[in-house]
């Protein structure tokens, strides 16, 4: 082989080695001067072309140009590598592929809660709030619930070391609101509740309720019924009917349980409503005078209704969900459906 071509190939090897070890653009510039500068190693070798025997000049010339191109290519690659490193160091890697941003969705429980709050606000209710860690007084005593009531049993209620409990219902917020302001009162309180239930398809230790309370002069059971009917139609559609059944709660007298007609079978009877045509929603009633006395309202002047509802229950009805636990497992295959 022509010795000039051999020398050029050796320089190419040297250049590749030097470029591989570079870590800054300054070093790259020094390297460029060393190989490709006016007095650089490659440049000088190319100048020697004049001394090559004319019979070999063509072939050597081609080989020399190839080597020069290879050195330039190695420089371009080194520059790209260093620039990429620089943008990485500044936190931006412009060579990364684009990222598809997956839009989140509102959880079905949150949606029912938001919808319920919006409907009650349109009816003139304002939102009130209370603590999840509640005093036994607010959760039970002030709600006229006697010491020996089964719901107070430690088997059913989580008691805290300091004597408070995790609220088993949103009803204690009624008490807090009435303690802090004078009637008329028209509030709803959405929130989490806790009970020592064994989880199954319809029970969870942690669930949500929305509580309603309306106190004024001459409030009647008919007002309660009108409110719940209007709510049911707004939430689930104009064909929904509401039914009251007599019941007992310590904090209301009279007390009722109320059902919505089944929206899945239009009341004809199906698996979700257990062939009855009706879906149990929750409890309600006229505020018991004992509750008014506990908060300092005169029961001779003031009357009121109260109601509670389970939000998970309504979400399950709305979407025909058969197991409450699905709402808390965070399985994307389930949640992405809503
Ligand atoms: N707190 C009751 C429960 O968790 C539901 C309830 C019933 C709320 C009657 C009320 C009411 O405000 O008046 O089962």
Q: How would you classify the pairing of strands 126-127 and 185-194? A: parallel
Nearest CA to ligand 1 atom 10: 307
Q: Is 169 in the pocket of ligand 1 (CB under 6 A)?
A: yes
Q: Specify whether the backbone of 260 is left (phi greater than 0), alpha (psi in -120 to 50) or beta.
A: beta
Q: Is 214 in the pocket of ligand 1 (CB under 6 A)?
A: no
Q: Is 171 in the pocket of ligand 1 (CB under 6 A)?
A: yes
Burial of 241 (0-12, 13-18, 19+ CB in 10 A): middle
Q: Is 284 in the pocket of ligand 1 (CB under 6 A)?
A: yes
For 274-324, the DSSP string reads TTSSEEEEEEEEEEPHHHHHHHT--TTT-EEEEEEEEHHHHHHHHHT---G
Do 115 and 30 belong together in one domain? no
Number of domains into which the chain is organized: 2
Do 162 and 287 belong together in one domain? yes
| pLDDT exceeds cutoff 70 at 88 | no
The answer as to whether 46 is a domain residue is yes
Which of 211, 224, 257, 280 for a ligand 1 pocket mutation test, highest count of atoms within 8 Å of Cβ?
211
Q: Specify whether the backbone of 179 is left (phi greater than 0), alpha (psi in -120 to 50) or beta.
A: alpha
Nearest CA to ligand 1 atom 8: 308
Question: CA-CA distance, 70 to 74, in Å (whole number)?
Answer: 6
- 43: Cβ contacts below 8 Å, ≥ 6 apart: 35, 36, 37
Do 235 and 128 belong together in one domain? yes
Residue pLDDT, tens place only, 12-24? 898 888 888 888 8
Do 35 and 184 belong together in one domain? no
Question: CA-CA distance, 58 to 62, in Å (whole number)?
Answer: 6
Token pair 């420089």: residue: 75
Do 227 and 292 belong together in one domain? yes
Confidence category of residue 281, pLDDT binned at 50, 70, 90 = very high
Do 168 and 311 belong together in one domain? yes
Do 274 and 161 belong together in one domain? yes
Token pair 């309660």: residue: 224
The answer as to whether 101 is a domain residue is no
Domain that holds residue 146: 108-335
pLDDT value of position 133: 98
| pLDDT exceeds cutoff 90 at 43 | no
Consecutive H or E run containing 230? helix 221-236
- In this prediction, residues 193-202 reach a mean pLDDT of 93
* CA 191 – ligand 1 centroid, Å: 13
Q: Which atom of ligand 1 is nearest to the CA of 211?
A: 12
Which of 130, 139, 165, 171 for a ligand 1 pocket mutation test, highest count of atoms within 8 Å of Cβ?
171
* CA 270 – ligand 1 centroid, Å: 27
pLDDT value of position 25: 85
C-beta of residue 111 within 8 angstroms of C-beta of residue 257: no
The answer as to whether 94 is a domain residue is no
- In this prediction, residues 218-225 reach a mean pLDDT of 97
Q: Is the pTM of this model over 0.85?
A: no
Of 89, 118, 151, the residue that ends a domain is: 89
* CA 291 – ligand 1 centroid, Å: 13
Q: Which atom of ligand 1 is nearest to the CA of 310?
A: 4
* CA 171 – ligand 1 centroid, Å: 6
The answer as to whether 25 is a domain residue is yes
Do 292 and 203 belong together in one domain? yes
Nearest CA to ligand 1 atom 7: 283
Q: Is 282 in the pocket of ligand 1 (CB under 6 A)?
A: yes
Nearest CA to ligand 1 atom 14: 283
Output the domain CATH number for residue 172.
3.30.930.10
User: Average model confidence (pLDDT) for the chain?
Assistant: 91
pLDDT value of position 265: 87
| pLDDT exceeds cutoff 90 at 161 | yes
Do 66 and 116 belong together in one domain? no
Of 89, 116, 141, the residue that ends a domain is: 89
Residue pLDDT, tens place only, 122-159? 999 999 999 999 999 999 999 999 999 999 999 999 99
The answer as to whether 263 is a domain residue is yes
* CA 26 – ligand 1 centroid, Å: 76
Pick from 63, 61, 40: which is nearest to 52 by CA?
61
The answer as to whether 315 is a domain residue is yes
Q: Which atom of ligand 1 is nearest to the CA of 287?
A: 13
Q: Which atom of ligand 1 is nearest to the CA of 251?
A: 13
């Amino acid at each position: 082989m022509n010795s000039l071509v051999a020398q050029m190939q050796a320089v190419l090897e040297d250049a590749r080695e030097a470029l591989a070890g570079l870590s800054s653009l300054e070093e790259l510039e020094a390297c460029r001067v060393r190989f490709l500068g006016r007095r650089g190693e490659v440049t000088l070798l190319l100048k020697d072309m004049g001394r090559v025997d004319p019979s070999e000049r063509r072939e050597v010339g081609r080989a020399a140009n190839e080597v020069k191109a290879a050195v330039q290519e190695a420089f371009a690659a080194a520059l790209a590598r260093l620039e990429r490193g620089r943008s990485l160091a500044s936190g931006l890697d412009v060579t990364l592929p684009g990222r598809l941003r997956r839009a989140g969705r509102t959880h079905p429980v949150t949606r029912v809660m938001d919808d319920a709050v919006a409907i009650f606000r349109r009816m003139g209710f304002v939102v009130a709030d209370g603590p999840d860690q509640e005093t036994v007084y607010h959760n039970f005593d002030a709600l006229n619930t006697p010491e020996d009531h089964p719901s107070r049993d430690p088997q059913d209620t989580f008691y805290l070391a300091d004597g408070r409990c995790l609220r088993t219902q949103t009803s204690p917020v009624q008490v807090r609101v009435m303690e802090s302001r004078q009637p008329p009162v028209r509030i709803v309180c959405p929130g989490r509740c806790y009970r020592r239930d064994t989880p199954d398809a319809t029970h969870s230790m942690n669930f949500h309720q929305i509580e309603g309370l309306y106190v004024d002069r001459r409030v009647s059971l008919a007002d309660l019924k009108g409110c719940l009917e209007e709510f049911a139609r707004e939430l689930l559609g104009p064909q929904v009917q509401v039914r009251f059944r007599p019941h007992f709660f310590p904090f209301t007298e009279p007390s009722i349980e109320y059902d919505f007609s089944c929206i899945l079978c239009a009341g004809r009877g199906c698996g979700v409503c257990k062939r009855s045509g009706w879906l149990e929603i929750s409890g309600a009633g006229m505020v018991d005078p004992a509750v008014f006395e506990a908060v300092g309202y005169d029961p001779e002047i003031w009357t009121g209704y109260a109601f509670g509802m389970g939000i998970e229950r309504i979400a399950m009805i709305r979407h025909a969900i058969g197991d409450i636990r699905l709402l808390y497992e965070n399985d994307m295959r389930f949640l992405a459906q809503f």
